[in-house]
Amino acid sequence: MIDWILKTALLTSVVLLFVALFRSKVRRLFGAHVSYMMWVLVPLSLIFYSLKEKTAVIISFNGVNLLSNPQATPVFTSPYFFSESQIDMMLWIWGIGMALFVLFRFCTWGLFNYKLMTQRQLYVLDEQLVKQLKWRQKLPKIYQTSQAHSPFVTGLIKPKIYLPSNFDQLFTTTEKIMILIHELTHVKRKDLFIQLLAEGIRSIYWFNPLVYLLWNEFTQDQEMACDRTTLLKLDKGIKKQYAQALKVSAVAHLIPNTLTFFNHKYERYIMLNFHNKNLSKSIKGTLLILFSIAFLFFSTQLVFACADPDEHGNIISYNFNEVPAKEVVQLIAHINPGEEEITDIQLLDEVLISAKAEEVYAFDFLQEILMTHGIKFERKGLEWKFTQL
């Protein structure tokens, strides 16, 4: 488990840095919706890693029970060699950190929603305003609250839109329509579910500073993509009024598990002139994302899949408890392709193996464990040789 976390943490860090480095350039060239799509590379990297060659797990061989003693030592794990106590300690630290992160987010969300529920009043839209929204589905409930400094949407199953108490005084009718369409667009795009997925990834990699440093960039791209979708629904020439609505608030208001209209308003204001319907750019941007996905898939398989069996052997997971070394050699030879020619195996006659292997390369494991018994293991193709150190 800790091996998977460490390797995928490295992989996601590389992908996050790639997205952070190129998102602004991609947004200017192909549009905000394309730069937002780039973030899909992060969860896809985890999926692609999981598609690598699976670990070979055998619980018995030639009548020998390989899982008879779960406390067998030492422990070998790939790509790092940790003792069993170190692995347990790291798992405890990771588990506690993840639990604290989830608890903190849940408590923050719960407290905020409690304040909303106790300090809100239903906001009724007039029929003329409802018609101009052109929303064909059932409208989510809309509330006014003193807890909101800007309009926002929250709620996964039953979305709700919250407006500041002075909403009617702050905005003109046209601006109110634009803001409500923006929040409804978040609902239609299921952006809160995407945020929940991102929060899940953050909880797994809570120890990685990049998931905190780049959260702002992720939500910024989400808002800009929503701006683009919203503006394409509105009449041409409306950008100036949309920009005016963005400028009303003094600061962006950060709210847990919500999508607020005024998040990243300065960057979004600059991007307004780039939100145009350009089929050619959209196609090129989509092809760029598809190419990136394909590149990520093949590079992931290349880097993280099992190494060349001829060099390192297959990835294995075993637990040996005083198993004769000859049985271990026969087992590893059995799961690897080809017919091995083994010499001087009699040196293993009195050797018993007690060790645990967790996703380690078979030949590397055999070499490491035999060295602890003073025996050197050498391979030249299918020729296996054992010598006394």
| pLDDT tens digits, one per residue of 200-211 | 999 999 988 888
Residue 302 has pLDDT above 60, yes or no: no
- pLDDT tens by residue, 351-384: 888 877 776 777 888 888 888 888 888 888 778 8
CB atoms within 10 A of CB 349: 9
Nearest Cα residue to 297 out of 34, 110, 24, 40: 40
Please compute the mean of the pLDDT values over residues 310-330 and round it to a whole number.
77
**pLDDT above 50 for 239:** yes
Average pLDDT over residues 309-316: 67
Band of pLDDT at residue 112, cut at 50, 70 and 90: confident
Give percent of the chain with pLDDT exceeding 70. 69
> What φ, ψ does residue 234 adopt, rounded to 5°?
-90, 165
Q: Are strands 258-260 and 152-154 parallel, antiparallel or unpaired?
A: antiparallel
By residue count, the chain amounts to 389
Place of tokens 């329509």: 177
H helix intervals, the chain = 2-30, 32-37, 41-50, 84-118, 127-133, 167-170, 173-189, 191-204, 210-213, 215-233, 239-247, 265-271, 279-304, 325-335, 362-371
Diameter of the chain measured on Cα atoms: 92
pLDDT tens-digit readout, 58-67: 444 445 454 4
pLDDT-derived band at 100 (thresholds 50, 70, 90) equals very high
Residue 67 burial class via C-beta count within 10 angstroms: exposed 0-12, middle 13-18, buried 19 and up? middle
Q: At what angle do helices 279-304 and 2-30 cross, to 10 degrees?
A: 160
Sign, CA dihedral 241-242-247-250, equals positive
- Do 205 and 12 form a contact (C-beta atoms < 8 A)? yes
* Confidence bin at 301 (pLDDT 50/70/90): low
The pLDDT score that the predictor gives to residue 251 is: 29
Contact assessment for residue 323 and residue 351, using Cβ atoms and an 8 Å cutoff: no
Under a CB-based contact definition with an 8 Å cutoff, are residues 291 and 314 in contact? no
333 vs 327: CA distance, rounded Å: 10
Tell me which residue of 205, 202, 209 sits closest to 7, measured CA to CA.
205
pLDDT band at 79; cut points 50, 70, 90 = very low
256 vs 23: which has the higher pLDDT? 23
- pLDDT of res. 297: 61
319, 77 contact by CB (below 8 A) = no
Phi and psi at residue 87, in whole multiples of 5°? -60, -45
Nearest to 172 by CA among 253, 250, 264, 240: 240
Our measurement of the distance from residue 80's CA atom to the centroid of its chain's CA atoms, rounded to an integer in Å, reads 22
Q: Which of 66-70, 83-87, 305-309 has the highest mean pLDDT?
A: 83-87
Question: How would residue 84 be classed by pLDDT, with cut points 50, 70 and 90?
Answer: low
Burial 231-255 (b: 16+ CB within 10 A, else e): beebeeebeebbeebbeebeebbeb
Q: Residue 39 — pLDDT band, cuts 50, 70, 90?
A: very high
In angstroms, the Cα distances linking 193 to 100, 186, 188, 321 are: 22, 10, 11, 47
Whether the predicted pLDDT of 259 surpasses 70: no
Strands of the sheet with 315-324, listed across from one edge? 56-57, 315-324, 352-361, 75-77
Task: Please say if the pLDDT value at position 309 is more than 60.
Answer: no
Work out the pLDDT band at 103, boundaries 50, 70, 90.
Answer: very high
